[in-house]
Amino acid sequence: MQLQDILYSQGFGTRRVCAGLVQQGLVQVYVSDHAMTAHVCSDSSAKFDAQGLRFRVQGVDWPYHEKAYVILHKPVATECSQKPSTYPSIYTLLPSPLRLRPQKGAVQGVQAVGRLDQDTTGLLLLTDDGKFIHRMSSPRHHVPKVYEVTVKHPLSESQVARLRSGVVLDDDPKPVRAAACEAVSEHHLRLTLTEGKYHQVKRMVAAVSNRVEGLHRSQIGGLRLPDDLAPGQWRWLSAADLASIGA
């Protein structure tokens, strides 16, 4: 695969822009998997095996990924929208190549797998793999999501029991149940859901006469939000990470 096409596929601009980056000596390539030093390549048509390739563009290291799968620690007061209405978009937290990766159709760059409200923090997945988004979002697959919920009033055993057995929301007569539910402390509820209804956690907690004061998603499937990933930071998902969420 030509170097300019590799850069284009990774979101570094049009093919002309990518060719220019190479020709200006702004692209370095690691010639082997274990190489510690990257070498300048000024031939935009030079061919490389893209799989496993590492390169550096304008001083920033970048690994080749046929499809991008990343985890973001969503901070509070951000919106999961390309066109936010009130708060900054989560997409501004990502480097431009992830936002500019080419895709078929009008969609460009990675997209959030589901959304978290502006006041909800925690684990958010993003990808440019449409099939992955559909699989993770489909209620048929029942991917469990764990939420750490701070509630206003002290939790009671009956509230926890009702959340486990099922509560009725105002838009559906069928009870909605938590896959798991435990009171970690008097005001800390750990809730596991396999559905993705609108404002589901807040509405379920309201249905048992309590109120959500803080909401944080800590886990999807077997993937936990890393302790060392600070709010606003992102990282690539590994093959083991993807396996842990059933990808």
Mean pLDDT across the stretch 192-212? 93
- The fraction of the chain above a pLDDT of 90, given in percent, is 85
Q: What does each C-alpha distance from 15 to 97, 126, 167, 238 come to in angstroms? A: 13, 24, 54, 28
Mean pLDDT across the stretch 76-104? 94
Mean pLDDT across the stretch 122-149? 91
- Regarding whether 58 and 101 lie in a shared domain, the answer is no
Identify the DSSP state of 211: -
Please determine, for residue 228, whether its predicted confidence score (pLDDT) is greater than 80.
yes
Please determine, for residue 104, whether its predicted confidence score (pLDDT) is greater than 80.
no
Question: What's residue 106's pLDDT?
Answer: 59
Q: pTM surpassing 0.85?
A: yes
Across the chain, what does the average pLDDT equal? Answer: 94
Identify the DSSP state of 198: T
Of residues 124 and 108, which shows the higher confidence score?
A: 124
- Regarding whether 119 and 175 lie in a shared domain, the answer is no
DSSP3 helix / strand / coil % (the chain, rounded to 5): 25, 30, 45
Question: What's residue 32's pLDDT?
Answer: 81
Residues 6+ apart with CB under 8 A from 170: 203
**20-68 pLDDT tens trace:** 999 999 999 998 877 789 999 999 999 999 999 999 999 999 999 999 9
Residues 6+ apart with CB under 8 A from 59: none
Question: What's residue 195's pLDDT?
Answer: 86
Mean pLDDT across the stretch 182-191? 98
- Regarding whether 130 and 237 lie in a shared domain, the answer is yes
- Regarding whether 193 and 150 lie in a shared domain, the answer is yes
Domain boundary among 63, 78, 112: 63
For 52: left if phi > 0, alpha if psi spans -120 to 50, otherwise beta; the answer is: left
Range of the domain at 111: 69-139+223-244
- Regarding whether 232 and 201 lie in a shared domain, the answer is no
Question: What's residue 140's pLDDT?
Answer: 76
- Regarding whether 211 and 97 lie in a shared domain, the answer is no
Mean pLDDT across the stretch 196-216? 94
Instruction: With cut-offs at 50, 70 and 90, classify the pLDDT of residue 142.
Output: confident
- Regarding whether 232 and 204 lie in a shared domain, the answer is no
In CATH, what number is assigned to the domain containing residue 39?
Answer: 3.10.290.10
In CATH, what number is assigned to the domain containing residue 121?
Answer: 3.30.70.580
Instruction: With cut-offs at 50, 70 and 90, classify the pLDDT of residue 177.
Output: very high
Domain boundary among 63, 84, 107: 63
Please determine, for residue 241, whether its predicted confidence score (pLDDT) is greater than 70.
yes
- Regarding whether 179 and 76 lie in a shared domain, the answer is no
In CATH, what number is assigned to the domain containing residue 204?
Answer: 3.30.70.1560
Name the least confident of 110-114, 137-141, 194-198, 240-244. 137-141
Question: What's residue 34's pLDDT?
Answer: 79
- Regarding whether 104 and 45 lie in a shared domain, the answer is no
Tell me how crowded residue 71 is: count the other CB atoms within 10 A of its CB: 21
- The fraction of the chain above a pLDDT of 70, given in percent, is 98
Please determine, for residue 139, whether its predicted confidence score (pLDDT) is greater than 80.
no
Structural contact between residues 54 and 63, judged by C-beta atoms closer than 8 angstroms: yes
Q: Which residues are catalytic?
A: 117
- Regarding whether 230 and 135 lie in a shared domain, the answer is yes
- Regarding whether 133 and 151 lie in a shared domain, the answer is no
Instruction: With cut-offs at 50, 70 and 90, classify the pLDDT of residue 247.
Output: low
- Regarding whether 192 and 135 lie in a shared domain, the answer is no
Domain boundary among 47, 63, 79: 63
